[in-house]
Every structure is written in C-alpha cells, then in structure tokens.
C-alpha cells in the first residue's frame, strides 16, 4: 500500500517531497550535544518517518550533536530511497553544549561540507543551507564558497537559514536560493521573508512550527500544523520529535484540513 505524503507534496531542491518534513535536532542529547538518551529510539524514529509514514524530507545539520544526527541518518536509512531529500546545514561551530557560534570562514565551510558528505555517505548534498550568516565574514565569501562547491558537484542546491529580508535579497543577487528556513509558529506568526518567498515561489521551510512543543501543550498541534499548511502552498513545516509515537501524531495533524 502506498503511503500518502503527509500534508501533500512540494518541490524542493529538484525533488517532489512531503510538505511535512522531520526536523532532527531533538535526536541528540541535552543542549543538542552528544548522543540521544536512547539511540535505538532515534533510529526507529527516522525509519518510521521514511519507511512507514511517508515523510520524504529530512532536515538536519552538522551542528546537531555536533555530527551526531548525520551519523544516525546514515546508520538508519542508507542506502537512501531515490525520493528522499536530506537537507543539511553548515556554518555553526559547537564549542560546548548549548553554545552555537556562527563560523562562515570559507575554509571552515568547505571542511564542513566535505565532512557531511562522508558522514551521510553521499557524493552530493542535495540541499545545503548556510546555517547562520557569520557577521565577521563577508556574505559574498560565504555564499561564494557554497556556490563553488555546488559547481564542483558536491552541493546540489543552496538554502538560507534564519535570515532577514535584507539577507534574502542580498543573497539572491549572488546565488539561486533553493529554500529559506525560518521559524514560523503561533507566536512568530509573521515573517516578511515568507511574503518574499510567496512572491518568488521559493520554498519556505518553517522550523519550530509547534513552538518547541508549546502548541502541543495547548492541545493545538493539529490546528497549528493544519493552518500553516493552508496558509501558502510553498510552506513546508519541519516539526521535530524524538519518538515514533509523537511523530505519528504530527503526521495525523498535517493531514487535517484547516481554513
């Protein structure tokens, strides 16, 4: 039996994928540091998403762990289905639990991409985001490095994460932006970058769509996800979870229609 993609489908980075994706940051230890409390459960969550629930968009980053989740994805799912989009991110250094430092030096970004290729056991990162813009490095240098890696065949498409409208407009002067990933939820209800993405048809990957569980605590997960999906066809929420049971609830919520 064919499993329907939760929330419908969207085209991102050359693939048609489920609009509901899986954010994987919670598949680590406290402070987004180290291994998860139960590695078997983390593996089961990834397999349930792809093999059982129809999710074909996984979002990760080299900074999750750091490196932990990319290893988990490879161990759980490799060899990957052709229709699976694994999006990763580079540009954060992780000196300690809970500490995130933007690091956009070209040498560092290139090393991060090369390492992610090895951890995920792929020849190309289908979608690679600049995780954060490093204010200490010219944006042109950061994007230029990713563009060079794209030209070398090591990155398929380039995305932007946690950006302002000015960031977005400046980046579009230099590269083709394949996707933007910003927070959007019941508390962060407006983002001018979303409006720009709607106008340009660029996929908008909404992270923290349940506000780190706030919507669940309010008993409002169904409404939160359903209304995000109904808001614009280019919105692709990526709620995170660390359990197959919670993941199944999110999938059910994404398939409920809200006006």
Domains of the chain with bracketed CATH: 9-254 (3.20.20.100)
pTM: 0.95
Which pLDDT score is estimated for 94? 98
Rounded Cα distance between 13 and 133, Å, is 21
What is the per-residue pLDDT for 256? 80
Q: How many residues in the chain?
A: 259
Q: Catalytic residue among 64, 129, 204, 207, which?
A: 64
Annotated catalytic residue 129: no
Full pLDDT tens readout for the chain, 259 residues: 578 999 999 999 999 999 999 999 999 999 999 999 999 999 999 999 999 999 999 999 999 999 999 999 999 999 999 999 999 999 999 999 999 999 999 999 999 999 999 999 999 999 999 999 999 999 999 999 999 999 999 999 999 999 999 999 999 999 999 999 999 998 898 999 999 999 999 999 999 998 866 655 555 777 888 889 999 999 999 999 999 999 999 999 998 876 5
Map tokens 């397999």 to a residue: 47
Q: State the pLDDT at residue 214.
A: 63
CA dist 9 and 14 (Å) reads 13
Task: For residue 137, give the 3-state DSSP assignment.
Answer: coil
Task: Determine the pLDDT at residue 215.
Answer: 55
Return the structure tokens found at 132.
Answer: 């954060």
Closest by Cα among 210, 204, 100 to 161 = 204
For residue 218, the model assigns a pLDDT of 52
pLDDT of residue 176: 98
Q: How many CB atoms lie within 10 A of CB 182?
A: 21
């Amino acid at each position: 039996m064919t499993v329907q993609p939760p929330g419908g489908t969207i085209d991102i980075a050359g693939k048609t994928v489920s609009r509901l994706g899986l954010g994987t940051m919670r598949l680590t230890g406290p402070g987004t540091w180290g291994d998860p409390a139960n590695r078997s459960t983390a593996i089961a969550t990834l397999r349930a998403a792809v093999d059982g629930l129809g999710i074909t968009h996984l979002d990760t980053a080299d900074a999750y762990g750091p490196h932990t989740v990319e290893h988990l994805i490879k161990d759980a799912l490799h060899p990957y289905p052709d229709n699976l989009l694994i999006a990763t991110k580079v540009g954060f250094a992780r000196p300690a639990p809970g500490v995130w430092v933007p690091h956009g030096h070209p040498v560092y970004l290139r090393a991060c991409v090369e390492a992610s290729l090895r951890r995920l056991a792929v020849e190309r990162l289908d979608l690679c985001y600049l995780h954060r813009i490093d204010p200490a490095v010219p944006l042109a240098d950061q994007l230029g490095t990713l563009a060079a890696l794209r030209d070398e065949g090591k990155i398929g498409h380039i995305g932007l994460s946690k950006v302002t409208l000015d960031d977005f407009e400046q980046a579009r002067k230099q590269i083709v932006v394949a996707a933007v990933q910003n927070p959007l939820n019941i508390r962060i209800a407006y983002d001018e970058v979303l409006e720009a993405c709607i106008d340009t048809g660029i996929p908008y990957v909404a992270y923290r769509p349940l506000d780190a569980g706030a919507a669940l605590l309010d008993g409002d997960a169904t409404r939160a996800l359903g209304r995000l999906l109904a808001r614009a066809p280019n919105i692709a929420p990526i709620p995170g979870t660390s359990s197959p049971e919670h993941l199944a609830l999110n999938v059910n919520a994404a398939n409920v229609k809200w006006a």
